[in-house]
Structures are given as structure tokens and as C-alpha cells.
Amino acid sequence: MIYHVLPKADWEKALAQGSYKAASLATEGFIHASKAGQVAGVLDRYFKGKDDLVVLHIDEHKLTSPFTYEFSPSVNEEFPHIFGPMNLDAVLKVEAL
């Protein structure tokens, strides 16, 4: 299981479009994701003070786009990256934060 935090409005847009494409897909070539133990740090670093967020619980085995773990030197950890649009049926749970 991997996780992705995003504004609820972005998730609602993905539902309407039939797949999810984070802005980072266009700018960096992948969608950022996290392991369970990394979600709190991601929230603290990138989403502090923001509300109306959700976290997607993603079954990485159901992804139709490739994904891999890559090292992030800024935090000295490996993070999962999804290299393409995310198919919605890979999302097993949407949790409000």
C-alpha cells in the first residue's frame, strides 16, 4: 500500500475525469507518493496549514502506470513515484484529513 495526499477538490476533479494527474506529473514526470510511515512528514513539509485534504490509499499492484521507489536526498529516504496517470480503481480508500 502506498499513499498520496491531495486537496479534496483535486480528487473530485479526478473522479470526474476518470483518472488522476497531479501537477507534478507535468512538471516532474511523476506523481509523488509515500509509504505509511512517511505520510506525517509529507503533511508537515508540504501541507502545513492547509485543510480540506484527503489521503488516497493506493494498491500499487493495481496501478496501470509504472511506479518505483526513488531516493530523495532532501530527507534521506526512498519514496514511491508513479510515472503516469493514476487509474482510479487502484485507490482502495479515500480518507479525509
List phi, psi (to 5°) of 82: -105, 120
| 31-40: pLDDT as tens digits | 999 999 999 9
> What is the CATH number assigned to the segment(s) 2-96?
3.20.170.20
pLDDT the model gives residue 10: 97
Q: Is the pLDDT of residue 75 over 90?
A: no
Q: Is the pLDDT of residue 84 over 90?
A: yes
Whether 75 contacts 41, CB under 8 Å: yes
Q: With pLDDT > 90 as the criterion, what percentage of the chain qualifies?
A: 94
Give the separation between CA 21 and CA 23, rounded to whole angstroms. 6
Q: What's the pLDDT band for 74 if we cut at 50, 70, 90? A: confident
Domain boundaries, the chain: 2-96
Mean pLDDT value of segment 1-18: 97
